[in-house]
Chains A and B, each alone.
Chain A
Amino acid sequence: MNVDVLVVGAGPAGLSAAVELRRLGVGTVLVADREASAGGVPRHSWHTGYGLRDLRRIMTGPAYARALADAAVSAGAEVLVGTTVTGLSCGRCAQLTSVRGIETVQARAVLLATGCRERPRAARLVPGDRPAGVMTTGELQQRVYLGGERLAGAAVVVGAEHVSFSAATTLAHAGARVVALVTEFGRQQSYFAFRLGAALRWRVPVWTGCMVSRIVGHDELSGVEVTSVGSGRVRFVPCSTVVFTADWIPDHELARAAGLEIDAGTRGPVVDTALETSWAGVFAAGNLVHAAETAGIAALSGRHAARSIAAALGTVADTGVARVPVRVEAPLRWISPNAVGSAAAPPLGRFVLRSGEFRRLARLEVRQDGRLLARSRPLRLIPGRPVHLDAAWLAQVDPNSGPVRVATRS
């Protein structure tokens, strides 16, 4: 099968890209998604607030997922669900498995929009037993909202970011009593947490400076040990569910297995401001390149990549522009995009970053080989929350010099 563009992943980024590609006159756009229905994570996220940034109206996750999927089909994209892209070659040739069999798709351009997931308990190296009742928010939401499961008893949520409060809400909906949100940090990290909590009547305590240090229970979870980071004091908290939230990692397996260059910070493929990867004609967008931003930001990232792709399809492929890496220094964890190639502006005209620590009034400084390119106004850095850096300095980057470095100065 030959197509103009193959989009891998029918979440907000992939579907929005498909709509934009068709709007810009690209002929054949094929979107493949391994799940049974299109829409990505919003399919099982029942709180409202979706659509504001990209569709200019507010709706629940499932309604938003449907709206995006319908828009892609109406725009003339072909959306194949239950279809896994199992491999990708640098010639933009992909292998697909589905009930239809094994298919080969040759594309003029490929957009990877495979999203991200939360690190599960094992990946966080939390020791103890391996009982049932230990899950991520993704699993919790699917169990409760797609499967209609009820959860009885007490529950503990690990993390205190937006998604952690969303997990607490889901637990409460499912019938569980949320004992606490547990975070190693000195404070919670969600600005709308208390608003959300108040609105939904579930005021959940946040235990700051604490970590879940052990899982206890043979077949079923009997509880968790919570250790105070400062004092080292350990207490046992009985519960039958523990949800590990946030701590995102991009679903980069297809990109890595294919051999795309991977950014050490985001752990997604390295992308320039046009969202092109290290392979000409292969682009990446959404939470694969910034895990995790909101669905609306992922959608706009997909739209941005679509414009780059449409432009690339109109030109002679592989111009071989030299790319300058963009790197961050601690406490900054990552920046996206993380390369500068053409003069194209990044999505929304800005870079997005993450910090590993809280900082009040920190300025971001952008330098190339010691030369100061830009200095931001004082910013507040909160782990798990986006920090934005205006891209006005792009034109000053010397394509023949060393990496651009972004650091904090207080």
Chain B
Amino acid sequence: MTGDSVADVVIVGAGVVGTAIARTLAGFSLSCVLVDAACDVGTGTSKANTAILHTGFDAKPGTLESRLLSRGSALLRSYAAMAGIPVERTGALLVAWTPEQAAALPSIEANARQNGYLAIRHVPVPALYAREPSLGPGAVAAVEIPDESIICPWTTPLAFATEAVAAGVRLVFSSAVTGVTDLGDAYSLETSRGSLRCRWVVNAAGLGSDVIDRMFGGGGFTIRPRRGELIVFDKLARTLLRSILLPVPTARTKGVLVAPTVYGNVLLGPTAEDVPSVLDTATTETGLGSLLAAGRRILPGLDGEEVTATYAGLRAATEHSDYQIYVDGARRYACVAGIRSTGLSASLGIAEHVVAELDAAGLVLRARPEFVPAPPVMPYIGEAGVRPYQDAGRIAADPAYGEIVCHCERVTRGEVRDALASPVPPADLGGLHRRTRAMNGRCQGFYCAAAVSRIFAAGGP
């Protein structure tokens, strides 16, 4: 991959933030490279989170996070509608279970209004139970945040990357950035698979962003990975709730929530635990146990339902409470770090902000002649729309959409084939499941893993 050509910008990190910046920069006359240590888009924090499109109602007013979250959330809502990213506006109910928690609700409402979110409203307890009849007994008060939504966290960075690639951005995977050499008018980024030359560097390396930042003379923050364990319940539990059910947050954490997913499951989590390693995505007996105990109280019906999956993600938190975003024009370097747990919702707001800052710092942004930016149309993998197996017209035109290969998630051979032939194809089975949902269901491969693996091996890279 070593070339004599010098890219205008290298973006380090192909998570939801890095891909969002890449697609935004792709609209200008620039040569861009998006580099990641992993073999695919969105394999870190971006793939393992609560999959909620936040309004930012509970952000700390006046922070950069609050502003970019509010802006990014609005941008992503309209982008998702165009790109076929599954989003469902389920709304959220923030439920108080004790008088002390109930006493905190007025300040939460005031905080939301300060953030410019005015639709938050008080919900009387009888109305709460009328709306969520399966909610556990003992709720004493609630507020509703009608615009909180659920989103597909996998399709989002893929859509950004697909759009970026179509606009000429080069993706370089499996290349961990190990060092940088300043050549005066350019940088040479050393990676585990050769070097990359560029004029500007954007650090969107998530859990690795502090290491990259120090290479550029930074060091103002340290990533303190905070692990969140989550439990995914069977689709048969989906009828137990309509909205996202939020707890009253504490100073330390937003607490354990229960939410539907766009794939028709129910999500319970996350825990919040500081861990020493950015690799420690293991679930624990204690963590899962505490989630089940919390879930039993919020939604007792979960107790009788099967667990489909458990996983843990790491939030890229720092010692600071706000995002760590700055652009250094003299060094031709942008740092986009400390995005914690709001990167998915804020991604397009962050990208817009960073590009404006890059412009101000001296990166020359010239509009591309005759370039019309257009979101790609991604395969729709949510439950709210019509899936290929339900689409008689589509099956008639192409019978591969009638051949279900993953029974639990009802994924067809046609969808697997399309994913393998897509502009940003999967590099492994994990990548295939993030693109299609194959093997992601209740049997966890009992029926389909062997067959899907064979299709992947035959048609994969």
Chain A interfacial positions (CB closer than 8 Å to B): 34-35, 82, 84, 86, 97-102, 117-123, 125, 127-130, 132, 135-136, 138-139, 142-143, 146-147, 149, 213-216, 218, 249, 253, 256-257, 264
Q: What is the bound-complex CA distance between A125 and B229, given in angstroms? A: 12
A228 to chain B, nearest CB (A): 15
| B window 271-313: CB within 8 A of A | 279, 281-285, 287-288, 292, 304, 306-311
Can you list 23 A-B pairs, Cβ within 8 angstroms, ordered by A?
A34-B407, A84-B410, A86-B389, A97-B395, A97-B402, A99-B395, A120-B443, A122-B232, A123-B307, A123-B308, A123-B444, A125-B307, A135-B445, A136-B444, A136-B445, A142-B447, A143-B449, A146-B451, A214-B282, A249-B306, A253-B235, A253-B236, A264-B304
A147, closest chain B residue (CB): B450
Tell yes or no: B454 within 8 A of A by CB: yes
A135, closest chain B residue (CB): B445
**Majority-rule SS of A interface residues:** mixed
Q: Are B453 and A218 in contact (CB under 8 A)?
A: no
Q: Are B283 and A99 in contact (CB under 8 A)?
A: no
Q: Given the known inter-chain contacts A125-B310, A130-B311, please indicate yes or no for A117 contacting B287, CB distance below 8 A.
A: no
Q: What is the bound-complex CA distance between A77 and B195, given in angstroms? A: 65
Chain B interfacial positions (CB closer than 8 Å to A): 232, 235-236, 279, 281-285, 287-288, 292, 304, 306-311, 389-390, 392, 395-396, 399-400, 402-404, 407, 410, 429, 442-447, 449-451, 453-454
Q: Are B446 and A127 in contact (CB under 8 A)?
A: no
Q: Count the A-B residue pairs with Cβ separation under 8 angstroms: how many?
A: 115
Query: Which residues from B are CB-within-8-Å of A127?
Result: 282-285, 287-288, 310
Specify which of B282, B389, B402 is in contact with A129 (CB 8 Å cutoff): B282
Query: Which residues from A are CB-within-8-Å of B390?
Result: 86, 97, 102
B431 to chain A, nearest CB (A): 13
Q: Are A122 and B444 in contact (CB under 8 A)?
A: yes
Query: Which residues from B are CB-within-8-Å of A136?
Result: 443-446
Query: Which residues from B are CB-within-8-Å of A213?
Result: 285
A101 to chain B, nearest CB (A): 5
Which of A120, A213, A249 is packed against the most chain B CB atoms within 10 Å?
A: A120
B311 to chain A, nearest CB (A): 6
B398 to chain A, nearest CB (A): 10
Q: Are B445 and A84 in contact (CB under 8 A)?
A: no
Query: Which residues from B are CB-within-8-Å of A128?
Result: 282-283
Q: Are A138 and B446 in contact (CB under 8 A)?
A: yes
Q: Are A143 and B446 in contact (CB under 8 A)?
A: no
Query: Which residues from A are CB-within-8-Å of B443?
Result: 117, 120, 136, 138
Q: Are B236 and A122 in contact (CB under 8 A)?
A: no
Q: What is the bound-complex CA distance between A165 and B403, given in angstroms? A: 34
Q: Are A97 and B449 in contact (CB under 8 A)?
A: no
